[in-house]
């Protein structure tokens, strides 16, 4: 059966703002307190989704969580009507109000860990929502993300939904941002690379938290019943975490049989890459297709500049299925090599254009022996200012044709839905939003009106059971 990696992007919500809620996320901290543009943010994210459709990809839209999270504020001791609760929180604990207004469900790479049906013994796609317990604003997403994924992937013949891992420090789980599936093609069993920052070896960062744990990675393998012969668990370099690499997708990206990462991504990186190659070669499905691993040296691109440019948070997209080279944008840069059916596009954030190191690294990549035959830049400035690039915005789900047909059809992006969402954003989203605006009692009413209409557009009635 035909399999394809389908991207499901988080639609950026109407409460997008810069509150600097994420320790270790340097961009988030640097933009703390600045004026955000929710409308521009959502339109930028939508244009990225639409660009993938133009490139022949199947693209899904994940609706944002309801905000503010009034129930969380109530659990934290605030009471009364919604306007009263918001007013109290703004005066007494504005950081809590900001957390409960966060639009961070946009970064769908943290929504869940997903295992392809070809990798699971029962032949179903497995989902485990991330508990995201390192930060308050993200851990309150988990219940919504779990319910939303069950609504969209709601056929038990094809999809299996697990509960989140226990909300305890030893099982801190940040989702697919720390999971890379490598495979010769999506219709063959894959090799799962799971990355953690904290285990029992006492190699820890000194400045910022290590968000994913080794125990969480092991639990995910058990939940999804993945074969140990097809799993590699690797530890993040703690020095890289202290420079802003809070998830692996800030310093590495993989797609099909290609893995691109910084030379300082892992502890004992040489051993990790050797293990990947050994397990790849031992697979009977992988003998005719080599695993290509490209390391970018610190001399070419420092970790600091990798974090600033977000080069490794680019998306790698197959150009072999529907898209042809002449379908690439005028903003694409092509290389003369690897224009065969295995070629890939690197969809990079426009921030890379402002970095001479990132440009040199891309030039080096394009001239090398790897599947990347083109690079294209996408403007995601609003998301990037909060520390989320192209890869952060999407949850990758490898699906067969039958599994694609079992996905809720209302969220699959086509030209009609693209235009309806664009009109919806322009109608409901504020042009600007700052910290003081979170105290505005009209904001929750505006958000609920927007989300009520969104459920009609995406045909998801009852998704938002909250009332202002």
259 - beta bridge partners? 254, 293
Binding site as annotated, residues: 19-28, 110, 137-138, 211, 249, 386
**Which residue of the set 174, 357, 376, 403 is catalytic?**
174
The one catalytic residue among 186, 247, 248, 262: 247
* Helix, strand, or coil (residue 183): coil
For 91, other C-beta atoms within 10 Å of its C-beta total 10
Q: Assign 258 to helix, strand or coil.
A: strand
Cα 8 off chain centre by: 9
Q: Is 392 a catalytic residue?
A: yes
List, in sequence order, the alpha helices (H) in 283-414.
303-309, 356-367, 381-384, 401-406
Q: Which two tokens stand for residue 438?
A: 């979170």
Q: Has 174 been annotated as catalytic?
A: yes
285 is known as an active-site residue: no
Residue 201 token pair: 């070896």
Pairing of strands 344-349, 372-378: parallel
Q: Beta strand 258-262 with 252-255: parallel, antiparallel or unpaired?
A: antiparallel
- Tokens (6 digits) for 185: 């093609």
Residue list, annotated binding site for substrate: 19-28, 110, 137-138, 211, 249, 386
Question: Who contacts 174 (Cβ-Cβ below 8 Å, separation ≥6)?
Answer: 110, 130, 132, 134, 211, 212, 247
Q: Apex CA 466: angle with CA 460 and CA 467, to 5°?
A: 120
Distance CA 391, CA 58 (A): 16
**Nearest to 105, CA basis, from 69, 155, 75:** 69
Reduced to 3 DSSP states, what percent helix, strand and coil does the chain have, rounded to the nearest 5? 40, 20, 40
In angstroms, how far apart are the furthest CA atoms of the chain? Answer: 65
Q: How many helices (H) and strands (E) does the chain have?
A: 16, 16
Among 266, 270, 261, CA closest to 301 = 261
- Which residues are catalytically annotated? 174, 247, 392
């Amino acid at each position: 059966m035909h399999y394809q990696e389908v991207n499901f992007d988080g639609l950026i919500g109407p409460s997008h703002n810069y509150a600097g809620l994420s320790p270790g996320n340097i961009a988030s901290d640097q933009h703390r307190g600045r004026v955000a543009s929710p409308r521009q943010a959502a339109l930028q994210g939508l244009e990225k989704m639409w660009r993938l459709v133009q490139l022949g990809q199947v693209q899904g839209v994940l609706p944002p969580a309801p905000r503010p999270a009034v129930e969380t504020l109530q659990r934290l001791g605030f009471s009364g009507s919604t306007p009263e609760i918001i007013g109290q929180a703004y005066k007494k604990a504005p950081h809590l109000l900001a957390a409960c207004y966060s639009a961070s469900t946009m970064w769908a790479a943290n929504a869940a860990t997903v295992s392809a049906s070809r990798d699971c013994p029962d032949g179903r796609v497995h989902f485990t929502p991330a508990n995201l317990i390192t930060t308050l604003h993200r851990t309150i997403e988990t219940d919504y993300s779990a319910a939303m994924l069950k609504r969209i992937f709601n056929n038990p013949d094809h999809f299996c939904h697990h509960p989140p891992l226990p909300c305890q420090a030893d099982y801190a789980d940040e989702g697919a941002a720390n999971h890379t599936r490598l495979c010769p093609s999506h219709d063959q069993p894959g090799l799962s690379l799971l990355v953690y920052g904290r285990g029992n070896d006492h190699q820890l960062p000194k400045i910022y938290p290590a968000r994913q744990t080794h125990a969480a990675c092991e639990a995910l393998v058990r939940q999804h019943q993945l074969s140990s012969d097809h799993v590699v668990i690797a530890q993040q370099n703690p020095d890289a975490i202290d420079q802003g690499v809070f998830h692996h997708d800030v310093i590495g990206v993989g797609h099909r049989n290609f893995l691109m990462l910084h030379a300082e991504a892992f502890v004992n990186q040489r051993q990790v890459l050797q293990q990947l190659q050994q397990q790849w070669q031992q697979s009977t499905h992988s003998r005719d297709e080599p695993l290509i691993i490209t390391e970018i040296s610190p001399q070419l691109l420092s970790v600091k500049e990798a974090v600033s440019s977000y080069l490794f948070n680019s998306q790698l997209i197959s150009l072999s299925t529907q898209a042809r080279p002449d379908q690439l944008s005028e903003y694409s840069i092509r290389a003369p090599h690897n224009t065969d059916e295995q070629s890939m596009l690197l969809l990079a954030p426009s921030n890379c254009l402002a970095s001479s190191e990132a440009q040199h690294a891309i030039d080096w990549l394009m001239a090398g022996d790897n599947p990347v035959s083109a690079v294209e830049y996408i403007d995601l400035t609003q998301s990037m200012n909060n520390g989320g690039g192209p890869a952060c915005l999407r949850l990758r789900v490898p699906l067969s044709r039958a599994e694609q047909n079992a996905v809720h059809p209302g969220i699959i992006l086509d030209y009609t839905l693209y235009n309806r969402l664009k009109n919806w954003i322009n109608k409901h989203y504020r042009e600007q939003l700052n910290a003081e605006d979170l105290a505005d009692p009209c904001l929750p009413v505006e958000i609920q009106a927007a989300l009520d209409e969104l459920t009609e557009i995406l045909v998801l009635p009852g998704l938002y059971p909250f009332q202002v």
